[in-house]
Structure 1
């Protein structure tokens, strides 16, 4: 991804951020490589024998809600809190309801300064209030995620539409 600094990417691949218990937020439009970058870092973490888990935001929220309904939330939170690296993909693609936002806040709070989290998002952090439906919860989540964090803004054209003619990629979904 040409918009990223090679030294920053190499530093992330070295996994030093895990030892420092820092986070990574990858921000950019769909198709620019956010998930690819997160998965690549995750693979390096697995190779380094770090307990790593990849989940999209909606599945994570659903899992936490189901655990709460079954009276198993504490157990599920412990599972996610224990991981060396939690990768949460696609924050912002779909809105999260109040219950989901509260559960995510609890999880982020448990991991804060203890474990590392990577988040991929197509929405700038300043616009998370709309995603989470509550500016206070969104601010608290962002505050903890971004306190010790590398934020990478990835720009460029989607690799999925790179072969479209210029007059077709902005049109009616062709």
Structure 2
């Protein structure tokens, strides 16, 4: 492609750039000079040059959409599934983690329950599942059980119950973290059930909890509602029972060990 600067070529170039800007294809407009120079050097055809120009805009649009989905998702950390340390977590293996990372379970409205004591990585896994889903193009929202209950309670008092239920039923994946960690108000059972019921067999839920499913009636203060909730969650689900030493305590012990070695030269387990 000949890009020699002549009055005619300059006019066509300015017209093309103006058209791109008018169509709000700003990324393509900004990349145009460099791409035309590269096209001339590499001998691209007109079709290939056009494809390269459009791909810049498509990539930029995809990046904007991804950024928007990440903002909406409200993920608490930048945790990824591939960074999860399986050496300290019993109840999950790499092949299962890789399968969950494909997000195919979301297409069948399957739920994931992550059950285990504090510190074994449940929130890391939940956030990692959420991020994988966002990057795969799904709409995701992350919340704690306490926050969901409080928001639903406020909505009921203000007459916004229906709109709040639509808000929680909208995302393709809803992540509810820390069920059972904090005492929930009496209306929490009703709110959680309504959210789960509206999503039942339509969209997916990830729940993290430190309590076995048999004690959910105690958590929610209503065994009937807890049973109905579990019936819907477990109908189509993957349940991961995680176990292991808290990584927070493990990190604390490791740091203490390093400090003792640095200051005394004696391993921590030999100090009294």
Other-structure match for 1:144: 232
Q: Which of structures 1 and 2 has the bigger CA Rg? A: 2
From 14, 23, 27, give the equivalent of 2:115. Answer: 27
Following superposition of structure 1 onto structure 2, how do residues 1-174 of structure 1 map, counting pairs within 5 Å?
Answer: 1-2=86-87, 3=90, 4-162=92-250, 163-164=252-253
User: Structure 1 stretches of 5 or more lacking a match?
Assistant: 166-174
User: What is the SS of the residue equivalent to 1:98?
Assistant: coil
Deviation by residue 1:96-141 (Cα, 9 ceiling, x = unmatched): 2331111111110000000000000000011101100011111111
Deviation by residue 1:64-121 (Cα, 9 ceiling, x = unmatched): 1111111111011011101100000000101323311111111100000000000000
Distance of 2:119 and 2:168 partners within structure 1: 27
Q: Contact (CA 8 Å) 1:64, 1:73: kept in 2 or not?
A: yes
Other-structure match for 2:264: none
Once structures 1 and 2 are overlaid, which stretch shifts more, 20-29 or 89-98? 89-98
User: What is the SS of the residue equivalent to 1:31?
Assistant: coil
Deviation at 1:52, TM superposition (A): 0.3
User: What is the SS of the residue equivalent to 1:93?
Assistant: coil
Distance of 2:98 and 2:229 partners within structure 1: 27
- More helix by percentage: 2
* TM-score, reference length from structure 2: 0.59
User: Structure 2 stretches of 5 or more lacking a match?
Assistant: 1-85, 255-272
* TM-score, reference length from structure 1: 0.91
In the alignment of these two chains, the number of paired residues is: 165
Structure 1 runs (4+) deviating above 4 angstroms are none
Distance of 2:158 and 2:133 partners within structure 1: 32
User: What is the SS of the residue equivalent to 1:71?
Assistant: coil
Deviation at 1:62, TM superposition (A): 0.5
Question: Which structure is higher in RCO with an 8 Å CA cutoff and minimum separation 6?
Answer: 1
- More strand by percentage: 1
